[in-house]
C-alpha cells in the first residue's frame, strides 16, 4: 500500500523537523506552500518533501487543500491530510494499514485538538482526513470537509483505533480570517446547518451576542439540523450570549433546553452548574454537577469540551460544599479535582487548606 501525506504551509519553519519526523512512516510527503517568508520551503525540501509554492487569492482553505491534493502521486493508495502543527504518534502507519479495508473510502482516528497547561489532554475527538486517492475533494472556504465526488457510492468509513494525531498550534497565529470565511460559507450554502452552527459559534467568540443568537436560532430552525449534540451546543451558546447580555433568566431557559435536547452530554448540565455557581445556588451546583458526573462515557465528537471532563465538576462541588459548611465532603471533592489535574497549584492549595480543617 502506497501512502502519501499532503499538507499546506505558510511560515511553519519551527514545526518542519518535528512534522517530517512524524510523517516519515509515509512513502512520500507533498506540501503546497502558500507564501512563506521564512525558510519553511527550504527546510521541507531538505527533509525530503516535495514542495510547490503557489499563491491562493482570494484565500480559501478548500482551494488550498484541493491544490495540495493534486500534488499527491496518482499511484498513491491512501492520502493523509495533516497540518504542520500536528504530530502522529509512532506506529500510525501500521495501525492504519491494519484497520484499512480494500473497499473503504475514509478512515477515522483519534485527534487531540488541545492540551491543558499541565500537559494532559483537553479537547479530544475523532478526525476523518485520511482517504483513498480518487473521488474526494475539499469543500467550504473554512472548516473545510471532504466531499465524495466520485462515481457511485463512497466506500465505508473504517476506524483506525491505533492512530493518534496531536495538535500543537502556534499561539501567535491569528484566526481573524475565520469569521469572514465563515460568513462566505453561509452565503454560498445558506441551508448548510454545519456552516450556520460554526458561524454562530464564531460570533460568540467575537462577542457579537445578537448575531450569535440570531444565527444559532436560524441553525436550529433548519430541517437538516437534526444532530442532538450540535443542536444542544447551539442552545448552550445562545444561553451564553444571553448571559453576556445580562439576561440570566433567558440564559437559564436555553441551558434547560440544551439539557432536554442532549441529556447524554455533560456540557449542558455543566452550563447550569456554572450558572448556579454564579448565583451562589449551592444546592443547584451539587445537583447539576452530580448529573454531569453520572455520565461516564466520553463522546468522540468535536462537541465534547475539555472542562466537563477535567477537574471542573469536582472543583465546583468542592466550592459548594465548603460554602455549605461541609468541610469533609469538600475535601474529598478537592482531592478528586486534583487527581484530574495533578499539577494545578490552586487545586493543590485547596486540598492542603481543607486537610488542615478536616
Q: 96, 150 in Cβ contact below 8 A?
A: no
pLDDT at 100: 97
pLDDT range class, residue 263, cuts 50, 70, 90? very high
**Does residue 116 carry a pLDDT above 90?**
no
What is the tally of helices (H) and strands (E) in the chain?
A: 14, 10
Nearest of 292, 306, 283 to residue 121 by alpha carbon: 306
**Does residue 297 carry a pLDDT above 80?**
yes
Q: Which fold has domain 178-287?
A: 1.25.40
Average pLDDT, the chain: 96
Query: Roughly what angle, to the nearest 10 degrees, separates helices 266-278 and 228-244?
Result: 20
Q: 148, 135 in Cβ contact below 8 A?
A: yes
Averaged over 295-313, what is the pLDDT? 94
**Does residue 171 carry a pLDDT above 90?**
no
pLDDT at 119: 85
pLDDT at 259: 98
Cis peptide leading into residue 166 (ω within 30°): no
At residue 124, φ and ψ (nearest 5 deg) are -130, 130
State pTM to two decimals. Answer: 0.91
Nearest of 321, 243, 246 to residue 275 by alpha carbon: 243
- CATH number for the domain running over 3-167: 3.90.550.10
pLDDT at 120: 85
Domain with CATH 1.25.40.10 in the chain: 178-287
Averaged over 264-275, what is the pLDDT? 98
Helix (H) or strand (E) holding 72: none
**Does residue 175 carry a pLDDT above 80?**
no
Outline where the chain has alpha helix (H).
16-23, 40-46, 61-70, 92-99, 178-188, 193-205, 209-221, 228-244, 248-261, 266-278, 282-293, 312-323, 327-340, 345-357
Q: 267, 236 in Cβ contact below 8 A?
A: yes
Query: What is d(CA 219, CA 197) in angstroms, rounded to the nearest whole number?
Result: 6
pLDDT range class, residue 117, cuts 50, 70, 90? confident
pLDDT at 135: 96
Query: What is d(CA 255, CA 309) in angstroms, rounded to the nearest whole number?
Result: 18
pLDDT range class, residue 176, cuts 50, 70, 90? confident
Q: 59, 113 in Cβ contact below 8 A?
A: no
Averaged over 302-321, what is the pLDDT? 96
Cα–Cα distances (Å) from 147 to 128, 227, 316, in that order, read 11, 19, 43
Q: What is the biggest distance separating any 2 CA atoms in the chain, rounded to whole angstroms?
A: 70
pLDDT at 355: 94
Query: What is d(CA 313, CA 266) in angstroms, rounded to the nearest whole number?
Result: 10
Domain with CATH 3.90.550.10 in the chain: 3-167
Q: 312, 346 in Cβ contact below 8 A?
A: no
Residues 314-355: tens digit of each pLDDT: 999 999 999 999 999 999 999 999 999 998 999 999 999 999
Residues 25-35: tens digit of each pLDDT: 999 999 999 99
**Does residue 358 carry a pLDDT above 80?**
no
**Does residue 73 carry a pLDDT above 80?**
yes
Amino acid at each position: 500500500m502506497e501512502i502519501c501525506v499532503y499538507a499546506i504551509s505558510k511560515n511553519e519553519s519551527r514545526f518542519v523537523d518535528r512534522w517530517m519526523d512524524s510523517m516519515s512512516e509515509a512513502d512520500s510527503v507533498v506540501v503546497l506552500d502558500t507564501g512563506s517568508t521564512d525558510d519553511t520551503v527550504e527546510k521541507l525540501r531538505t527533509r525530503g518533501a516535495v514542495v510547490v509554492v503557489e499563491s491562493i487569492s482570494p484565500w480559501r482553505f478548500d482551494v488550498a487543500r484541493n491544490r495540495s491534493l493534486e500534488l499527491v502521486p496518482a499511484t498513491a493508495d491512501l492520502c493523509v491530510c495533516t497540518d504542520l502543527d500536528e504530530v502522529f504518534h509512532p506506529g500510525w502507519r501500521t495501525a492504519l494499514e491494519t484497520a484499512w479495508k480494500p473497499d473503504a473510502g475514509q478512515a477515522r482516528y483519534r485527534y487531540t485538538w488541545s492540551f491543558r497547561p499541565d500537559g494532559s489532554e483537553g479537547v479530544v475527538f475523532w478526525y476523518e482526513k485520511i482517504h483513498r486517492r480518487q473521488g474526494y475533494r475539499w469543500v467550504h472556504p473554512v472548516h473545510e470537509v471532504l466531499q465524495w465526488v466520485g462515481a457511485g457510492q463512497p466506500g465505508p468509513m473504517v476506524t483506525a483505533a491505533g492512530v493518534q494525531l496531536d495538535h500543537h498550534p502556534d499561539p501567535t497565529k491569528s484566526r481573524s480570517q475565520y469569521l469572514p470565511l465563515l460568513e462566505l460559507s453561509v452565503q454560498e450554502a445558506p441551508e448548510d446547518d454545519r456552516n450556520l452552527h460554526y458561524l454562530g459559534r464564531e460570533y460568540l467568540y467575537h462577542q457579537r451576542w445578537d448575531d450569535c443568537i440570531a444565527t444559532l436560532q436560524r441553525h436550529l430552525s433548519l430541517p437538516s439540523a437534526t444532530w442532538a449534540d450540535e443542536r444542544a451546543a447551539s442552545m448552550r451558546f445562545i444561553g451564553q450570549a444571553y448571559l453576556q447580555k445580562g439576561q440570566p433568566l433567558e440564559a437559564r431557559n436555553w441551558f434547560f433546553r440544551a439539557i432536554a435536547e442532549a441529556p447524554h452530554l455533560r456540557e449542558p448540565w455543566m452550563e447550569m452548574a456554572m450558572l448556579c455557581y454564579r448565583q451562589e445556588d449551592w444546592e443547584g451546583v451539587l445537583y447539576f454537577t452530580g448529573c454531569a458526573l453520572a455520565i461516564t462515557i466520553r463522546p468522540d465528537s468535536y462537541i465534547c469540551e475539555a472542562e466537563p471532563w477535567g477537574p471542573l465538576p469536582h472543583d465546583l462541588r468542592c466550592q459548594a460544599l465548603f460554602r455549605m459548611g461541609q468541610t469533609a465532603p469538600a475535601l474529598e471533592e478537592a482531592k478528586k479535582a486534583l487527581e484530574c489535574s495533578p499539577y494545578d497549584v490552586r487545586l493543590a492549595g485547596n486540598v492542603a487548606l481543607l486537610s488542615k480543617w478536616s
